[in-house]
Amino acid sequence: MRRALLLLALAAAAPARAQDPAIPSFAEETAPAGFTHAFTGEWEFMVGGGIAVFDCNGDTRPDIFAAGGTAPAALFVNDSAPAGPLAFTPTPSGLEETSVSGAYPLDIDGDGILDLALLRVGQDRLMRGLGDCRFEDASAAWGFDGLDLWSTAFAATWEQGASLPTLAIGTYIDRAQEAFPWGNCTPNHLYRPKTDGSGYDAPLPLTPGFCALSILFTDWDRQGTPDLRVSNDREYYKGGQEQLWHVEPGQPPRLFTEAEGWQRLRIWGMGIAQEDLNFDGFPEFFLTSMADNKLQTLAEIPPQGAPLPRYRDIALKSGVTAHRPYTGGDLRPSTAWHAQFGDVNNDGLPDLYVVKGNVWAMPDFAEDDPNNLLLQRPDGTFLESGDRSGVASMAQGRGGALVDLNADGLLDMIALNRNEPAQIWRNTTASPANWIALDLSLPGPNRNAIGAWIELRRPDGRIHSREVQVGGGHVGGILVPQHFGLGPATSAEIRILWPDGTAGDWQTLAANAVWRLEPGRAPVAVTAPN
């Protein structure tokens, strides 16, 4: 008996479902906001184009640093009024370097002012924040050897007892290999602080390097010590794969092996986004690539002990393959770069923003390749909303960010495009849904509690866990209060697992406010609940 024929209508739009989420609305405000910038360059800038978002002047409004490639990098100070239109002022800052591929904010010296790690095609720099959005090159003062490589990835963690963060910098291709660059990936490096805390030891090569485009310290197995996840571009490596490094205090880094459960995966790795999507306490990973983006969830979580680093790819069943343009008529496969989870409609379910763009006139891949805004449904699947939300940019995207830029509790959106103007959108969703943002703070080193876990108890009792991290994405990151959508809830029950392993108390905080949390101290509302 012949079964019914199965017709694969691969390009057909998915039908609406009863549980489809509310579609947010965004308004592009690039020109009126004064956000005039482009990441420019040819071969050495076909990757990169990262954005760093952080408050550099202490006014609680996130400012934007944008890499420029062959153009000078630029800092845009945020002048947006609360809940008002977006407004930025390009501001001299000491960061106007050329050959910058991306940047990540972090407080390296623990002085309460955020610093910036500048990744470059050439020597990287550690820029010390001086306050009022001014910076100076502190590489030499901190003993940081920026090397002369093509840097394309960054992550940081505070190893137990360290007064400075351990930095990991991923690199790409040996630029000297013009005719035969393939198989010529340069090593990544680990920068560990000297034991006396006076600066950094010489960089430790993480060999082999397989042309990393995103790296991330992650406590993926919840054992208390982050490991280093590396996503590599198979276009250039030989004998390579994705990597996971043990980085244990006082020990040389070492790769996870197949005997430890590591499974070989080879993709055009370009960006990593991490979020606990199924509220089981363990993060899922979205890995961007070219037409084969992955959404990884642990294959098995044992009742006791650590899970093995074995993942199932649930991108297809979750509807986040994002493998081809969903609008615009160019049906060639897609190229994905920056990825970030964030709840853009405040319904309590993390959504996914993916920045898209052809590498550089690659005929096998779409030229008109819209960015994705994938909204999570209650059943864990996602709905594409980029076109209906107004963010389906066809520019040659690279870096990006989802971040509340105007203190209205709604995540706004930035895209940095290659050889085209950058873009910024204000989230204008008229939504009754509530939100909360948490600004973690520690005394002494690691002022921003990198490595802490935030737990938020959902209405159904499940716990949404989020690790506070510096790294991932595509050559850029944000360091701002952690935003959660709450749906109709008017308060949130949360607790913090601090980086030293101590657990704070469960506490109930009012919605629609930014709260500063420190161990042993009462929460402080940075912005009043509205």
Partner 1 sequence: MNIFKDFSATLAVALCILAAPAQAQSQDQSQVQSQDQAQDQAQAGARDDRAQVLGSWYRMILELVRHTPTYSPPVASRAFAYTALIAYEATASGSDRLQSLTGQVAAVPMPPLREDGLAYDEDVILNTALAHAVDVYFSNTGPTGQRAKAALTKQLDALTAEGTDPDTLARSQAYGAALAEAIIAASADDGGAVVENLGFPMTYTLGGEPQDWVPTSLVQLQQAPLLPAWGQNRPFTLPDGEACPLPPPPAYSEDPGSEFYKQAMEVYDTSRSLTDEQKIIARFWSDDPMLSPTPPGHWVSIIFEIAERDALPVEDRVNALVRLGMAVSDGFIVNWRDKYRYDLLRPVTYIRRVIDPKWEPLLITPPFPEYPSGHSTQSGAVAQVLTATFGTPFPFTDSTHEADGLAPRDFPDFWTAAREAGISRLYGGIHFRAAIDLGLDQGACVGDHVNALKTWK
- 5 lines the binding site for partner 1 (CB under 8 A): yes
Least spacing, CB of residue 40 vs partner 1, in Å: 15
Give the nearer residue to partner 1 in terms of CB position, either 320 or 414. Answer: 320
The stretch among 65-73, 126-134, 217-225, 326-334 that binds partner 1 (CB under 8 A) is 326-334
Both structure tokens of 362: 């690659």
- 259 lines the binding site for partner 1 (CB under 8 A): no
- 529 lines the binding site for partner 1 (CB under 8 A): no
* Amino acid found at 454: I
CB atoms within 10 A of CB 24: 27
**Do 143 and 91 form a contact (C-beta atoms < 8 A)?**
no
Please enumerate in sequence order all residues whose Cβ is within 8 A of that of 385, keeping only pairs 6 or more positions apart, or say none.
Answer: 21, 23, 24, 373, 374, 375
- 258 lines the binding site for partner 1 (CB under 8 A): no
Least spacing, CB of residue 299 vs partner 1, in Å: 11
Residues 332, 388, 457, 516: which binds partner 1 (CB under 8 A)?
332
Residues 31, 43, 112, 503: which binds partner 1 (CB under 8 A)?
43
- 310 lines the binding site for partner 1 (CB under 8 A): no
The stretch among 131-139, 358-366, 384-392, 507-515 that binds partner 1 (CB under 8 A) is 358-366
Least spacing, CB of residue 384 vs partner 1, in Å: 13
- 398 lines the binding site for partner 1 (CB under 8 A): no
Least spacing, CB of residue 240 vs partner 1, in Å: 8
8 closest CA partner among 300, 438, 316: 316
* Amino acid found at 312: R
Give the nearer residue to partner 1 in terms of CB position, either 334 or 446. Answer: 334
How many Å apart are CA 524 and CA 522, to the nearest integer?
A: 6
Give the nearer residue to partner 1 in terms of CB position, either 181 or 380. Answer: 181
Per-position DSSP letters for 445-476, written without gaps between them: SSTT-TT-EEEEE-TTS-EEEEE--EE-BTTB
Classify 350 in phi/psi space as left (phi over 0), alpha (psi -120 to 50) or beta. Answer: beta
Both structure tokens of 116: 């910036």
How many Å apart are CA 154 and CA 316, to the nearest integer?
A: 29
- 176 lines the binding site for partner 1 (CB under 8 A): no
Residues 13, 176, 179, 430: which binds partner 1 (CB under 8 A)?
179
Both structure tokens of 205: 């090569």
CA-based torsion, 298, 304, 306, 308: positive or negative: negative
| Start-to-end C-alpha separation, the chain | 64
How many Å apart are CA 3 and CA 433, to the nearest integer?
A: 46
Least spacing, CB of residue 362 vs partner 1, in Å: 4
DSSP state of 307: P
Residues 186-245 that bind partner 1 (CB under 8 A): 234-236, 238-239
- 363 lines the binding site for partner 1 (CB under 8 A): yes
- 420 lines the binding site for partner 1 (CB under 8 A): no
How many Å apart are CA 370 and CA 511, to the nearest integer?
A: 33
- 308 lines the binding site for partner 1 (CB under 8 A): no
Summarize as ranges the residues that interact with partner 1 (CB under 8 A): 2-11, 42-43, 46, 173, 178-183, 234-236, 238-239, 266, 290-292, 313, 315-316, 321, 323-324, 331-333, 359-365
